Amino acid sequence: MQVLITGVAGFIGYHLAQRLLKEGITVYGIDNLNDYYDVQLKHDRLAQLKSQPTFTFQFLDLSDKEGMSQLFKSHSFDCAINLAAQAGVRYSLINPMAYVDSNLTGFVNVLEGCRHSGIKHLVYASSSSVYGANTKIPFSTSDNVDHPVSLYAASKKANELMAFTYSHLYNLPTTGLRFFTVYGPWGRPDMAYFKFVKAIESGQPIDVYNFGNMQRDFTYIDDIVEGLVRVMHRPPAALADLNSSEVAKKAPYKLYNIGNNQPMSLLRFIEVIEQALGKEAKKNLQPMQPGDVPITYADVEDLMHDVGFKPDTPVELGITRFVDWYRTYYNAD
């Protein structure tokens, strides 16, 4: 089996590639290695992957139409997993075109490649951000998500709509996974938990938004990878949802939430980090930021029903593992 992973030098892409390689699956990874965050971290992830004989890397940007077309013409992938995207809610307020290039134009190039090369299954990253400021909890994939509060969220909702269209028109099996606040070793430096650990470790204050009155469904990276692998091996079939419209019934298309199903308050989360570090945080309480939402909470019943799995790693364990990795990687005391 040969699997294409886009964004392979990223946090989730790296961990997924490691898991598939251990299972004897051939992995072809692409990434544009952009400088949205520390490029050295991406190179260090890649170095671990490149040492394995069944891994191949190509420097390629999703928005490169010709390059993407040639990629799919030159290889016979059984499955494509699209994890490449311009991430981050706040950055979308500063640099919106980065989201258009990667998350919209880039995703169309992925869809076109899959369509013309006979890919058996496209799995792609969506986000809990599509739920916007929805107040009904837990968030369900059957909820209305027509009111995103950031361009990042809108681009992920657009991905879901684009994937459905290709499933409907070209019978391309697609599965979208709405990730809920993923964290863990080798994580993204732009994420709050990473910033908190870095600041607390060095004695710097941390910015705590909405005065700490937020809740997040923090999901450990190993749980995300387990869900991805299980879903990857289970392409959706038409007529999967008999309650849907006639058009939807005929499309091999599926959406899942993948979250820990246990929201934790931001202040409690900071306490967990303090305990893992053995240091106290200096908190700089701030108001809610544009694009933020007060709570994320995943309903994972569909995932449990279809693939027999739900994330369950306790945040206390996950943060301890992250802190151990952080101190090792950065040679901290």
Enumerate the active-site residues: 152
| Closest to 19 (Cα-Cα) out of 314, 230, 329 | 230
Rounded Cα gap, residues 293 and 215, in angstroms: 9
Q: Which helix (H) or strand (E) holds 113?
A: helix 106-117
Phi and psi based region of residue 92 (left: phi greater than 0; alpha: psi -120 to 50; beta: remaining): alpha
Q: How far is CA 63 from the centre of its chain?
A: 19
Buried b (16+ CB within 10 A) or exposed e, 148-183: bbbbbbbbbbbbbebbbebbbeeebbbbbbbbbbbb
DSSP label at residue 165: H
Task: Give the tokens for residue 182.
Answer: 């993923």
CA atoms within 13 A on the CB side of 136: 9
| Closest to 62 (Cα-Cα) out of 117, 15, 111, 28 | 111
With contact defined as beta carbons under 8 Å apart, do 116 and 64 qualify?
A: no
| Closest to 2 (Cα-Cα) out of 110, 82, 75, 107 | 75
Q: How far is CA 33 from the centre of its chain?
A: 16
